[in-house]
Every structure is written in C-alpha cells, then in structure tokens.
Amino acid sequence: MAVNLEASYRMTASRDLQNAPHHNETAGGTAGTLADEEQASTHNSSSRESTNHNRSNEMHKEITLPSRLVYYLNKESESPYHKLDTKTKDQQKHNKAVHLAQTSFQIEAFGSKFILDLSLNNDLLSSDYVEIQFNEGKEHLNKGGEHCYYHGTIRGVKNSRVAISTCNGLHGMFDDGAHTYTIHPVDLTHNSESTSRPHIIEKAPGSQISKVPNHTDTERKVSEQPFFAQTQWLRRRRKRALNVPRGVFEEMKYVELMIVNDHQMYKKQRSSYIHTSNFAKSVVNIVDSIYKEQLNTRVVLVAVETWTDKDRITIGPDPVKMLHDFSKYRQNHIKQHADAVHLLTNGTFHYKRSSMSFFGGICSTSRGVGVNEYGFLMSMAQQLAQSLAQNLGIQWEPASKKMKPKCDCTENFGGCIMEETGVYHSRRFSKCSIADFKEFLNRGGGLCLFNRPTKLFEVTECGNGYVEPGEECDCGSRTTKHFIQDCFGDCCKKCSLSNGAHCSDGPCCNTSCLFLPREYDCRYAVNECDITEHCTGDSGQCPPNLRKQDGFACDSNQGRCYNGECKTRDNQCKHIWGQSKLKGLFHTGPPQ
C-alpha cells in the first residue's frame, strides 16, 4: 500500500520555486527586436516577483510511497505492489527496454487516494527519433531510446489529466481539475530489491491568486499606455478569430520538436546522458498532454541532443544573444529535420523572464528556435509550452488583457499559460491564446504542422489475441474471433501477467500459470523425418517445429528425408500417377 511517511509533513516550496519560471520572452523577426509585450513596466515586474513569493508560500509537499496496482493469481481485484518498474517480463526478446502498454499506480497524499490509469504515449517519439551525444568532439547517434512515458487519467475523475514517466521512479504531474500535483523520487538512485521508494509530491494552490497588482487608477493607466497603440490590431483580429469556421484548427497538427541540452544541464543530471535525455522527454511528454487537449496539436520528439563534452555556443546571462547564437548553431550544425529546436540550459538569465523564442518562427530553420532556463520538471514544461506557443504565433497576455472576460481561462484558479504574471503550474490556454493560434493558422502560418510523422511505437490493442510490444500476454476477447481458448484468464489481466504468473497460455504453461519443466514433450513427431519438441523450462510456448536434415534415411532405408517428409520411389509415383495405376506401372508378369 502507498502510505505517507509523514502525514503531517508539509513544507513551503519557496526554495524550489527560486528555479521556477519567472516569465517567457519572445524575440521578434529581426535581430534584437522583441515582441510588443516586452515593454511591460518595471513595477509590473516587481509585482510579479511578489506574486511568485506569495504563491510559493502556498505550495505544499508530502512524502509518499506510491505503488503499482497489479493482479494476483486467483484474485479479481487489483492490489498494491511496491515495485514501480513497468518493464515487461520478457526483456530478453528485445534489444532495448520495453515497458507495459497499460499500467496503473496508486498514490496517497494530502488525505486523498489517487489511482492513475496510464497508457504509453505512442505519439511522443517519431520513427526517426535519435539521441545524440558527443565524445571528444565527435558526434554519436543512438537510434530509438527507452520509452516509459505515459498519458492517462485519474480513475473516477472527469476531465483529469496525467503525464508520468516511469524509467526511474515516477516523474511527472497529474491534475484532478482542482489542483495540479507533481511527483518525483526523493533520490534518483534506488535499490530495486527494497520494499518501497519514497517520492515527493507537491500540490499547487487551488485558489485564485490576484494576478494584477493593486495599483491606483493613475498607475494602471500609465502601465497600459505602452500596449495601447501596438495592440489595437491584435484586439481587432482576436475579435474576428474567436468564431472562425471549422478547418485547420480542428484538424490534428504535429510539431516535430528537437531538444538540445547544454553541458550544464548534463552536469545537473549527474553527468548522465541517459538521465538528461529522460528529463527532456518527460518535459515534452507534459507539454504534449497540454497541446493535444487544447490546441489539437501533438508535440512529437524527433531528436534529443546533449552536449556531453562542452557547450557548442556561449552560455551567458543574455537570452537575446543566446537565442541568435543558437539559431546560427541550428542552421550550421543540426542535420535533423524539425519544425522547432529548443535549447534547455542550466545557465541563469539576467532578465525578468526565463525563456525566449522567435514569434511565429515555427517551420523556419533560422527562427524556429527557443532557449529555456532550467527549472524543476513542471516549471520547465510550462516554460517550453510558453516559448513553443510563441513560435506558433500565440501572444503574451499582460494583466490588463487578462481582465477582459473573453480572454479568461475556463477555470478560475490555476491561471492561464500565457499570462505575464508569474503564474506557476498554470495548465490552460486562454480563449484569446486559442484565437491567436487560429488566426496564425488561417493566415497560412504553420504549414509544416500538417504532415503526420511516423510513430516509433504503434498503438497496441489489448484483446486482439496477439502479444504486441508492451504486452506480456493477450488472451483475446470472447466477443471476437481472436479469443484464445486455452489462455488462462487468472494468469493474464489487462494484457499483463498476474503477479506470480510466469505464463498465460501455450503447451508449456500449466493451469497454475507456471512453466512446465524441461524435456516435457510439447509437440510430438508426426513421421520419421520430424522431431519431437520439448519445453525449455523458461517459456510457455513450444519451441519452433524442427525436422531432420535432408538426406536422412527413413522407411527402413527405402527413402530419404526431404523438407520434413520421407520421400520414397513408391510415394513419388503415387503422387504423380495416382494409386490406381501404380500396379500396372510396375507389373512384370506375362501379358494378359
């Protein structure tokens, strides 16, 4: 069972939120030109810091022991199991780790019990996905990569959302409609044989926090003046775009994204190339869960590049310079096809915001880029969601625009993703942000978003009778022709073997779901040229059908084995001339 180590253990998250995203910025089309929102006044910046400080005091944490829900033999209901590993039991069949297509976890925290029902996010990685690292200046490419990234829902909770990775404990977030929770292990290292693994779970505040400072009317007028002239056209086009006809927005779109990690990010992840790549994939997995739900857009990873030996550009406090340097690096050195390439850096920007990207730059080799300052998993995902949205033509929303009802989110507690007020763990785009994206598409922007990339992992279908990657068993369904009669239902639940089961079907699997011993006959020889097969002791299936070598003597040395059959002169004549003519063909007596 998942239990809280310290039921009353709660701490503020002010220390963690020092690394949370302050704000995202967008670079304009020419060097050094920023989007119109950059002219936000200084007092708004300071008030945002105050808002972040107040928000941090409301963040709470607990330590919990999550468990994976499994079926035990002869039990109809799920039970908690302390091992969180989601790798399938037949890893020897694959050249890389394969994780369960479906799984469930139970998490107890803040006086509630959450059951997360998950399915592998098969759209996350493209078929051409590669991971790139450097050794003494030489580039090394690894095709594919471990896929342990899930999307799902909270059982029994409508409109809930989950994005979790399971490569090394549970990393990710879940949202029950009232609060957003993030979870990660206390330590990246763990003894798999230990009984449990402590995790830290954090709950974001669920009540609306004032996004607009309590200025006087005079102060508010002064702060809004820089926006007025530049945003009249934006307000007009938003009004037109709110009710656009069905078309490109409703069609599913695909952002083929490449992530680059700088050397400090690599060192931040304990100089582990695998940890660094997995962190980047976890970030994108969360962003994809947001985009697919609200923008009808999937975010598909085509590559993750990690600067394992040194940085390829100068990492400094000026994000504008970094953005332009990174744009040049992409044009000159990155060969992979991508609609956008974003840098994740562990450097610190001396700027009011934590990321920067070119506005409307998607599909452009020179402008489809962004730079993002390091933060914890959820804050990093929010930054990437914001900077990628800028590439997609979505504007920032200052507090003055947020006051307009048409720009508000459908929820009133978590804030909007593109708000310019330091909202932490915001999870929805406002109506005006969605209108921006619709207008961008209807202007002809984002032409590259409509080619669907081939998936690295195809969706499995539990219940079709075929054991596919990510499944340990599949008994089929009684309602279809794919039902496997000799498949033992107690051994296989939801296409995963019950805890303690070795197998679910096959001539080498007994009714107790255990392998039959070696040398047990599982397929008898059908003739002299066939061979009886025996169980191997480590599989429920009988080995492949074997035969004696061609030319082996058979039929009392009157014939020879060929392709598993005993070939004799008589048999060949019967095959050619038929049984009735065989006697006349070889008759040697006097003529009748």
Tell me the pLDDT tens digit for each residue of 545-587: 888 999 999 989 989 998 888 988 887 787 677 666 555 555 5
pLDDT attached to residue 586: 53
pLDDT attached to residue 15: 36
Q: Tens of pLDDT along 84-135?
A: 999 988 766 666 788 999 999 999 999 999 999 999 999 999 988 999 999 8
How far apart CA 379 and CA 388 sit, in angstroms, is 14
Residue 110 lies in a domain: yes
Q: What is the DSSP letter of 405?
A: G
In one-letter notation, the amino acid at residue 236 is R
Is 157 found in the same domain as 24? yes
Is 274 found in the same domain as 149? yes
Is 569 found in the same domain as 428? no
Is 191 found in the same domain as 329? yes
Is 569 found in the same domain as 444? no
Q: Between 374 and 213, where is the model more confident?
A: 374
Is 559 found in the same domain as 441? no
Is residue 553 within a helix (H) or strand (E), and if so which, with residue range?
Answer: strand 553-554
pLDDT attached to residue 436: 93
Is 406 found in the same domain as 274? yes
What six digits make up the tokens of 421? Answer: 């007020």
Which residue, 434, 450, 466, sits at the end of a domain?
Answer: 450
Q: Tens of pLDDT along 411-449?
A: 555 678 888 765 566 778 988 899 999 999 988 899 999
How far apart CA 299 and CA 292 sit, in angstroms, is 8
Query: Helix, strand or coil for residue 104?
Result: strand
Residue 438 lies in a domain: yes
Query: Helix, strand or coil for residue 228?
Result: helix
How far apart CA 167 and CA 87 sit, in angstroms, is 9
Q: What is the dihedral of CA 428, 200, 2, 106, to 10 degrees?
A: 20
* Cβ atoms of residues 309 and 267 within 8 Å: no
Q: Tens of pLDDT along 20-30?
A: 333 444 454 43
Which residue, 450, 474, 489, sits at the end of a domain?
Answer: 450
- 219-227 mean pLDDT: 30
Say if residue 83's pLDDT is above 80: yes
Distance, first Cα to last Cα, the chain: 93
Tell me which of 60-74, 237-251, 337-351, 465-479 is least confident.
237-251
* Cβ atoms of residues 421 and 397 within 8 Å: no
Residue 406 lies in a domain: yes
Query: Helix, strand or coil for residue 571?
Result: helix
Bridge pairing between strands 138-143 and 125-135: antiparallel
Q: Which residues contact 9 (CB under 8 A, 6 or more apart)?
A: 61, 62, 63
* Cβ atoms of residues 495 and 486 within 8 Å: no
Task: Supply the mean pLDDT for the chain.
Answer: 79
Say if residue 357's pLDDT is above 90: yes
Tell me which of 98-112, 181-195, 386-400 is least confident.
181-195
Is 368 found in the same domain as 243? yes
Total of domains in the chain: 2
Please give the radius of gyration of the chain, using alpha carbons only, rounded to the nearest integer: 31
Say if residue 6's pLDDT is above 50: no
* Cβ atoms of residues 513 and 502 within 8 Å: yes
How far apart CA 346 and CA 358 sit, in angstroms, is 20
Is 439 found in the same domain as 578? no
Tell me which of 132-136, 179-183, 470-474 is least confident.
470-474
Tell me which of 94-103, 162-171, 188-197, 471-480 is least confident.
188-197
CATH label of the domain that carries residue 101: 3.40.390.10
pLDDT attached to residue 44: 37
Q: Which of 153, 169, 206 is nearest to 84 (CA)?
A: 169
- 289-296 mean pLDDT: 94
pLDDT attached to residue 352: 72
Which residue, 450, 466, 484, sits at the end of a domain?
Answer: 450
Residue 480 lies in a domain: no
* Cβ atoms of residues 51 and 8 within 8 Å: no
Q: Between 105 and 15, where is the model more confident?
A: 105
How far apart CA 402 and CA 238 sit, in angstroms, is 14
Split at pLDDT 50, 70, 90, the class of 456 is: low
Is 566 found in the same domain as 431? no
Residue 512 lies in a domain: no
Report the half-sphere exposure of 2 (CA within 13 A, side-chain side).
29
Query: Helix, strand or coil for residue 301?
Result: strand
Is 446 found in the same domain as 566? no
Q: Between 101 and 193, where is the model more confident?
A: 101
What percent of the residues of the chain are helix, what percent strand, and what percent coil, each to the nearest 5?
Answer: 25, 25, 50
- 448-477 mean pLDDT: 79
Residue 293 lies in a domain: yes
In the chain, % of residues over pLDDT 70: 72
Residue 590 lies in a domain: no
What are the contacts of 508-514 at 24+ separation with CB within 8 A? Answer: 508/535, 508/536, 508/539, 508/540, 508/541, 508/542, 509/540, 512/73, 513/73, 513/488
pTM: predicted TM-score of the whole model, two decimal places: 0.74
Instruction: Pick left, alpha or beta for residue 3 (phi over 0 → left; psi -120 to 50 → alpha; otherwise beta).
Output: beta
In the chain, % of residues over pLDDT 90: 44
pLDDT attached to residue 356: 92
Q: Between 211 and 260, where is the model more confident?
A: 260
Q: Which residues contact 583 (CB under 8 A, 6 or more apart)?
A: none
Is 558 found in the same domain as 444? no
Residue showing tokens 């670079």 = 27
pLDDT attached to residue 493: 86
Q: Tens of pLDDT along 554-564?
A: 989 989 998 88
Cβ count within 10 A of residue 180: 22
Residue showing tokens 């998942």 = 2
Q: Which of 386, 179, 397 is nearest to 291 (CA)?
A: 386
Q: Give residue 390's domain range.
A: 14-29+43-206+231-450
pLDDT attached to residue 346: 93
Q: What angle do CA 333, 336, 341 make, to 5 degrees?
A: 80
Q: Which residues contact 412 (CB under 8 A, 6 or more apart)?
A: 208
Q: Tens of pLDDT along 312-348?
A: 999 999 999 999 999 999 999 999 999 999 999 998 8
Distances (CA, A) of 287 to 126, 162, 297, 560: 16, 11, 10, 66
Residue 276 lies in a domain: yes
